[in-house]
Structure 1
Amino acid sequence: MSSSEDHCYRLLTDYANGFMVSQVLFVACELGVFDLLAEAPGPLAVAAAVGASSHAMECLLDSCVSLKLLKLEMRGGQDEDMAFYGNTEMSRVYLSRVSPTSQCSMLLYMARTTYHCWGHLAQAVREGKNQYLRTFGVPAEELFTAIYSRSEGEQVQFMQALWEVWSMHGRSVLTVFDLSLFPLVCDLGGGAGALAKQCRCLYPRCHITVFDLPEVVRTAEEHFSLSEEEQIGFQEGDFFKDRLLEADLYILARILHDWVDGKCSQLLERVYQSCKPGERWGPLLMQLYSLNMLVQTEGQERTPSHYHALLSSAGFRDFQFKKTGVIYYAIVARK
């Protein structure tokens, strides 16, 4: 086998085994491995804490070491060396539930929802539509109703997952434009208010209201406490059916990519009708995320020109697009 063939084969093997890597990460998060190791090193202590096989837990922990999620130190015991596992910086910062930048809830959502939808990617490609019904027995148009009708714990976890996303990327998105020019801000589908909270801290003179489904608002108010400087308002409603709040600026973060063009246009037209007239103020990841939208929702990720067309068809004219420096881009459109 030539060196180029050998490289290609190793690359192919990496691609084929990718799902195993994801599962190691997901399972370690689900079992709380990274939190347990912060308190009690060693596979036996972790296995006992979660009621798992000590041998199987050791295999899982060793895999985490290979993935640089954990570090391993061998220490001499009375009869033989003992293995002591500890968190790496990556796991301490992103995988420990007590970390302010923890991504555990998002990873668990991916494990319990996204991962299963991807099991039907072949059908999604053949049919050109999402596989939520085939995966969970619920039509995609009822996706969010289904998510929020689950147990209270699952509702909170889904909302916490979105909170974690914006804990990482919110500031970059919100500072790409000067939003202090907009006194009244409405965050459509803002969940527990993670992005709205950051907007409030960055632009303290703005009055910010999250507009979301009644069950979302109730869960947010019960489980997600905000400090005095983070205070925002909540308004119950369905943004496809109910009257929208009048605002100077509407935030639609991770909203339009859930829906087909027709529904996007319908929502944008409703936003346009409610929006206060404005003054004249001066690659691979996207493809993977589009497939992710295909297997889970009605929508897709879109290029800037595609969003421009959607916004223009709804009546918006002044369109600006900017990169944030992270995985999200930001768009602002004025009436």
Structure 2
Amino acid sequence: LKNNEIFLYSNTEMAMMYLTKCSPRSLYHSILYSSSTLYLCWNYLTDAVREGRNQHERAFGVSSGDLFGAVYRSDEEMLSFMQLMNSIWNICGEDVVMAFDLSPFKTIYDLGGCSGALARRCLTAYPGCCVTIFDLPKVVRMSREHFISQEDEGISFFEGDFFRDPLPEADLYILARILHDWTDSRSLELLTKVYQRCKTGGGVLLVEALLHEDNSGPLTAQLYSLNMLVQTEGRERKTSEYAALLTAAGFAHIQVRRTGKIYDAILATK
């Protein structure tokens, strides 16, 4: 109130959608994680470039020998990471699960499915399928407590480590923002396991931010690749690099869909 005039302020429509905690498309948790965790790793970007490795030890004082042991170094940090992934797939999930017609695949395993947001998007698009979230026991526990409710029919859980434990047989395996965490050799190791357990006629759906073949962009994917350097063992890749990994694992028919958004989709079948 000033000079008997009343000034009213409100959020814009975009701010209401992406910045308020109550919005189903909120980026609040993504921004919070970037501020409290990613930013601390980026403080050591110069060291990461010089050494070619992530900076968990400098940023948080923890070893990254077990990568996700470092990422999930406390229940609070694990929940924060899962909230980040949840917000990402609440916004981007529909684009990638609709990039291909996945209706022929009835049994789907979302490897590293985390909060289940992508699994939920998949069930909304293809109500005739069953989606199982395959993740570490502590992640499954957190997902049950905070993200997946009894109303999410069609979503189930399988506890395990996809590098160490056998994979259940399925029609389709989803690897969404998984391979970019790992080196080529570890990515090939995982894809080979997927190929061996995949039913004939089944496949794998990769969801990643794809680089241009000349590495000129997109800028978002380039920035994500730097983030992979400071936080993980991996990097973002070009379509040809993912195709080479899939071919080496045994997959034959490889299709690519650019969504025009942050994440793209690659479907390879057996």
The structure showing larger relative contact order (alpha-carbon pairs under 8 Å, at least 6 residues apart) is 2
Would you say the 8 A contact 1:257–1:300 is kept in 2? yes
Classify the secondary structure of the residue corresponding to 1:181: coil
Output aligned runs, 1:1-335, within 5 Å.
75-76=1-2, 85-151=9-75, 153-226=76-149, 228=151, 230-278=153-201, 283=217, 284-335=219-270
Deviation at 1:234, TM superposition (A): 0.4
Tell me which protein shows more helix as a share of its residues. Answer: 1
Whichever residue aligns with residue 253 of structure 2, its letter is D
Deviation at 1:126, TM superposition (A): 1.3
1:245/1:321 CA distance change after superposition, 3 Å: same
Once residues 37 and 147 of structure 2 are traced to their aligned partners in structure 1, the CA distance between those partners, rounded to angstroms, is 23
Once residues 170 and 184 of structure 1 are traced to their aligned partners in structure 2, the CA distance between those partners, rounded to angstroms, is 18
Classify the secondary structure of the residue corresponding to 1:321: strand
Whichever residue aligns with residue 133 of structure 1, its letter is E
State the Cα deviation string for residues 209-232 of structure 1 (Å, max 9, x = none). 010000000111111133636530
Q: CA RMSD in A?
A: 1.9
Once residues 199 and 305 of structure 1 are traced to their aligned partners in structure 2, the CA distance between those partners, rounded to angstroms, is 26
Once residues 184 and 141 of structure 2 are traced to their aligned partners in structure 1, the CA distance between those partners, rounded to angstroms, is 30
Structure 2 partner of 1:32: none
Question: How many residue pairs end up in the alignment?
Answer: 256
1:97/1:162 CA distance change after superposition, 3 Å: same
Whichever residue aligns with residue 102 of structure 2, its letter is L
Structure 2 partner of 1:50: none
Classify the secondary structure of the residue corresponding to 2:74: coil
Q: So what's the TM-score if we normalise by structure 1?
A: 0.72
Instruction: Find the structure with the greater CA-based Rg.
Output: 1
1:212/1:279 CA distance change after superposition, 3 Å: closer
State the Cα deviation string for residues 7-44 of structure 1 (Å, max 9, x = none). xxxxxxxxxxxxxxxxxxxxxxxxxxxxxxxxxxxxxx
Whichever residue aligns with residue 207 of structure 1, its letter is C
Whichever residue aligns with residue 287 of structure 1, its letter is Q
Q: So what's the TM-score if we normalise by structure 2?
A: 0.89
Classify the secondary structure of the residue corresponding to 1:180: coil
Once residues 268 and 213 of structure 1 are traced to their aligned partners in structure 2, the CA distance between those partners, rounded to angstroms, is 18
1:165/1:279 CA distance change after superposition, 3 Å: closer
Would you say the 8 A contact 2:56–2:70 is kept in 1? no
Structure 2: where are the runs of 5+ without partners?
Answer: 204-216
State the Cα deviation string for residues 65-112 of structure 1 (Å, max 9, x = none). xxxxxxxxxx4157xx88764322232111110111111111111111
Deviation at 1:165, TM superposition (A): 0.3
Once residues 26 and 153 of structure 2 are traced to their aligned partners in structure 1, the CA distance between those partners, rounded to angstroms, is 20
Would you say the 8 A contact 2:130–2:154 is kept in 1? no
Classify the secondary structure of the residue corresponding to 2:199: coil
Structure 1: where are the runs of 5+ without partners?
Answer: 1-74
Identical amino acids, percent of aligned pairs = 52
Once residues 74 and 9 of structure 2 are traced to their aligned partners in structure 1, the CA distance between those partners, rounded to angstroms, is 36
Classify the secondary structure of the residue corresponding to 2:173: strand
Would you say the 8 A contact 1:130–1:296 is kept in 2? yes
Would you say the 8 A contact 1:201–1:229 is kept in 2? no
State the Cα deviation string for residues 150-187 of structure 1 (Å, max 9, x = none). 13x43322212111101111111001101001111000
Deviation at 1:293, TM superposition (A): 0.6
Would you say the 8 A contact 2:129–2:154 is kept in 1? no
1:162/1:179 CA distance change after superposition, 3 Å: same
Would you say the 8 A contact 1:159–1:191 is kept in 2? yes
Deviation at 1:245, TM superposition (A): 1.2
Whichever residue aligns with residue 76 of structure 1, its letter is K
Once residues 238 and 65 of structure 2 are traced to their aligned partners in structure 1, the CA distance between those partners, rounded to angstroms, is 23
